[in-house]
Amino acid sequence: MSVVLGIETSCDETGAGLVSDGVLLGDALASSADEHARFGGVVPEVAARAHVSALVPMVRQAVDRAGIRLKDIDAVAVTAGPGLSTAVQVGLAAAKAYATALDVPLYGVHHLAGHAAVDVLDHGPLPERCVALIVSGGHTSLLALRDLARDPVVHLGDTVDDAAGEAFDKVARLLGLAYPGGPAISQAALDGDPAAIAFPRPMTGPRDAPFGFSFSGLKTGVARHVEAATGPIAVADVAASFQQAVVDVLVTKALRACRAEGADTLLMVGGVAANRALRAGMQEACTAAGITLRVPPIRLCTDNGAMIAALGDLLVRADVKPTGLASAVEPGAVLTGALIPPR
């Protein structure tokens, strides 16, 4: 049995994880979110510097928590993209150093495939085929998945503008809520009425791309509402109504994709999958439709090292050829499969 070290530095979280045969042995996570809060978004240079100081301590902490030694590691997997270029560089450079020092194979992997792979840790092997909804800060996609380690990923639809998480972050800023916006909105929404304001459900019309998304119009809808307000803004109602609009769109499209693909399993992953209203809404719709919903535990939905280790573990067990020391950062990598092949 191999032990895989996973390293994640694509945005503002420095993650390290250790996975063996589908089991999480230990992980550790540092975040520079507080350092970005006053800018209202991630500052790449600040994130990269934070990774430099946090990375080795996080690997050490993960190794300690796993109760192993560094020399027990049999392979290293690292996010090679997509993400902030300078941030990803830090993780990749460190991963190359660990792989070289330990004389073990290196896999440069796709961050979004990691989001999907992490579900294996709590819920066991993925089915032979399923539909995946990836909802993160940078991406919103509906995918047809087969063997995540070996097979190409098929895109059924993607967002044409903002990602779902990006919409949460931008609307939070409009409402004067803290960064990152997703948790802030879901918190504010607890006291609000989701039916208070009828925000648009973009791209749900009969002539729209059936599996495509667009969230920038929804964000504009919220901005118009805020601008038009004459008195104080009912932040809780706006947050709850916005959140409900996002949930409605994601549920409608994800179930439509499952029906079209004849898939009996829906995998929902990425930072926005941590949203409780979305988890509840999707579960309700899937139960009614006889679809099995798989969602990772909340703590593993947002960026972490365990997800990259989980993906590396799938690659090792599938005997996939490592990308090796030629692995290079691809900041805008499109999700076509688990690996980011060196150019």
* Positions in the binding site for ligand KG4 (CB under 6 A): 11, 136-138, 165-166, 168-169, 180-183, 186, 270-272, 274-275, 302-303
169's contact among ligand KG4, Zn ion, none, with CB below 5 to 8 A by partner kind, is ligand KG4
Cβ proximity to Zn ion: between 169 and 303 the closer is 303
CB of 171 to ligand KG4, least distance (A): 10
Give, in degrees to the nearest 5, the angle at Cα 230 between 219 and 245: 25
Cβ proximity to ligand KG4: between 8 and 313 the closer is 8
SS3 state at 253: helix
Cβ proximity to Zn ion: between 89 and 136 the closer is 136
Count of residues that bind Zn ion according to CB under 5 A: 2
140 strand-pairing partners? 135
Amino acid at 335: L
202's contact among ligand KG4, Zn ion, none, with CB below 5 to 8 A by partner kind, is none
CA distances from 236 to 72, 184, 261 (A): 50, 11, 37
Closest C-alpha among 81, 96, 9 to residue 46: 9
Tokens matching residue 85: 């270029």
Cβ proximity to ligand KG4: between 134 and 339 the closer is 134
With CB under 5 A as the contact rule, the residue among 136, 244, 275, 323 that binds Zn ion is 136
CB of 138 to ligand KG4, least distance (A): 4
Cα separation, 30 vs 15, in Å, equals 7
Q: Taking CB under 5 A as the rule, which mask of x and - marks residues 290-319 in contact with Zn ion?
A: -------------x----------------
| Of 96-104, 129-137, 284-292, 322-330: span binding Zn ion (CB under 5 A) | 129-137
Closest C-alpha among 269, 324, 282 to residue 116: 269
Q: Does 159 bind Zn ion (CB under 5 A)?
A: no
Specify the residue for token string 């990152």: 180
Q: What secondary structure does DSSP assign to 266-313, as a single string?
A: EEEESGGGG-HHHHHHHHHHHHHHT-EEE---GGGTSS-HHHHHHHHH
305's contact among Zn ion, ligand KG4, none, with CB below 5 to 8 A by partner kind, is none
Q: Which residues form the interface with Zn ion (CB under 5 A)?
A: 136, 303
